[in-house]
Amino acid sequence: MHVYLLRHTRPDVPPDTCYGQSDIEVIERDFQEHLQRLNKLLPIEQIESIHTSPLKRCDKLARSLQRTSTCYIADPRIKELNFGEWELQHWQNINGADMRRWKADFLHAKAPGGESHMDLYKRAEAFWNDLTQSKEQHILVVSHGGVIKSLLSRILHMPLEKSYAIKLNYGALIYTHYEQNTPQQINIIY
């Protein structure tokens, strides 16, 4: 099984804004540049299914890469972390005590009304477990930085807290070759 993990392109939000599950647009020029690059890097005609976060910044990219024969699946399990009351707030404007608590235990602490990174990991893991049962051989997953890091943590048997040190640019593309529930090859393509 060949699975491509693709992060959405640059979102159209002010710098240092917390935007997790907020449904925001992408910067169009950046989107078009990445789309051209992806059309060259991805074996588009071989992709049998595209699984995407239903948020606009992923959905737009997934639909732009979809071909008529490609199965399209929007899956809420691969949405970004829900930051609850922090959504669309500037990081510096978030309550200091809440932020210190969250930073002290970012795997388990939650923003008010949000979810923890462990909650995100469990969603992503359930998605991956279902995906690896597929009979399809070429799959594209369009999602978010937090989800992709969680998936890489699962695939590589890496502690979740270590996966957050992985740098994933907007539009990052990672190739995984997976056989019998075991990763055979993982490459960061872009």
Domain of 70, CATH number, reads 3.40.50.1240
Eight-class DSSP state of 26: B
- Nearest of 189, 170, 178 to residue 57 by alpha carbon: 170
Separation of alpha carbons 95 and 158, rounded Å = 31
User: In the numeric block, which tokens belong to residue 40?
Assistant: 């060259």
| pLDDT tens, position by position, 165-188 | 999 999 999 999 988 778 888 998
What's the confidence (pLDDT) of residue 179?
A: 84
Separation of alpha carbons 187 and 175, rounded Å = 5
Task: Determine phi and psi for 138, rounding to 5 degrees.
Answer: -135, 110
Tell me the pTM: 0.96
Share of the chain above pLDDT 90, in %: 91
Q: How many domains does the chain have?
A: 1
58, containing H or E segment? helix 56-65
What's the confidence (pLDDT) of residue 190?
A: 84
Q: Containing domain of residue 19, as a range?
A: 2-188
Maximum Cα interatomic distance, the chain, rounded to a whole number of Å: 51
Separation of alpha carbons 37 and 34, rounded Å = 5
Residue type present at position 80: E
